[in-house]
Amino acid sequence: MVSNFPYAINKSSTNQTCTEYLPGRCCFHRSAPRETMAWYESVDALLANKDGLAAFRAFLKSEFSEENIEFWLACEDFRKTKSAAKIVSKAKKIYSDFIQADAPKEINIDFNTRDHISQNIEEPTLKCFDNAQRLIYSLMVKDSFPRFLKSEVYKELVNRQQNGKQKRCLPFL
């Protein structure tokens, strides 16, 4: 199948190919070509697809910014929490991992957002991280996602699928 898929032709700042992310292992996913191409249209399509999420996560890891996707995923999981006790424990875990000063995976959010979360962490609600999650999502959409689409990894995935040479293993997970 030949496509007029409009992915960026420019070389990314890193010229890593898919196989260079995880040496000795292939990293082509199992998604259908149209799914891979749908990732170009929407970060939501990418994040909703298990393989797309894995590829994006590996890309962010290569750029040393995986804390953004990890925080976003932690917030998505947190919002599904039903038990009041688990809400408190999960909120404190997210806070200690991503929000507090010098957290091991500290995310880049503004002082007011960080301060608001800090002041309310003792009695968290399911919405306590919403503003921070929106900021991180916006950062990924405006910054990381366009770089992913220009990366050699994404280009290689698309080219392999367009040429019918799709591999069938997924080491991203």
Q: Give the orientation angle of helix 66-79 with respect to helix 130-139, to 10 degrees.
A: 140
For the CA atoms of the chain, what is the radius of gyration? 18
pLDDT (0 to 100) of residue 3: 30
Q: pLDDT band for 24, please (50, 70, 90 cuts).
A: very low
- For the chain, the structural domain boundaries read 18-63+144-162, 66-141
Task: Determine whether domain 18-63+144-162 maps to CATH 3.10.290.10.
Answer: no
Whether 66-141 and 18-63+144-162 are alike in CATH topology: the answer is: no
The 10s digit of each residue's pLDDT in 119-145 is 999 999 999 999 999 999 999 999 999
The pTM assigned to this predicted structure is 0.75
Q: What is the CATH number of domain 66-141?
A: 1.10.167.10
